[in-house]
Amino acid sequence: MHYYTFGKPAKDSKSKTTNAVLILHGTSGSGRQFLTPQFAGVLFGPGQLLDVSRYFVVLPDNIGHGKSSKPSDSLRAHFPQYDYDDMVAAQHERTFGVNSNQTLAIPKLHLQLCG
């Protein structure tokens, strides 16, 4: 699963990230849609609501969207079947999981937004 990150994780005394913001795209979008001027231009700059000098912002591309794996990448009919439950489980594992070096291992989000 592909994702963009901006800013730096702030850690508490137990090395847990405390400033993570997860912004999820809708069913037909990608995390990249939040990089356009109408979003990024008013959210992520200095002094703005989600200033990346204060927050660790994560913009994921869920399965089948953006730069994440999808059937059109070449597997076509051989791409594993998946549904929304699988997408939610994959997103949860990528964000909160601790069993892999390919996870963000964020124990708790400061904020989650859905687009």
Single out the residue of 108, 76, 87 nearest to residue 9, CA to CA: 108
Of 8-12, 25-29, 67-71, 90-94, least confident by mean pLDDT is 67-71
What is the distance between the alpha carbons of residues 86 and 47, in angstroms, rounded to a whole number?
37
3-49 per-position pLDDT tens digit: 788 999 999 998 888 999 988 766 666 667 777 888 888 899 999 99
Cβ(89)–Cβ(97) under 8 Å? no
What is the distance between the alpha carbons of residues 73 and 96, in angstroms, rounded to a whole number?
27
- The rounded percent of the chain whose pLDDT value lies above 70 is 66
Check residue 69 and give its pLDDT.
Answer: 56
Q: Where are the beta strands (DSSP E) in the chain?
A: 2-6, 20-24, 56-61, 111-114
Of 12-26, 67-81, 85-99, least confident by mean pLDDT is 67-81
Joined together, the tokens standing for residue 8 give: 């730096």
Identify the CATH number of the domain in which residue 32 sits: 3.40.50.1820
Q: How much is the pTM? A: 0.71
> In b/e form, how buried is each residue of 72-102, taking b as 16+ CB within 10 angstroms?
eeeeeeeeeebeeeebeebbebbbbeeeeee
What is the distance between the alpha carbons of residues 97 and 78, in angstroms, rounded to a whole number?
27
Residue 114's pLDDT band (boundaries 50, 70, 90)? Answer: confident
Check residue 35 and give its pLDDT.
Answer: 79
32: containing domain: 2-114
Alpha carbon 77 to chain centroid, angstroms: 27
Q: How many domains does the chain have?
A: 1
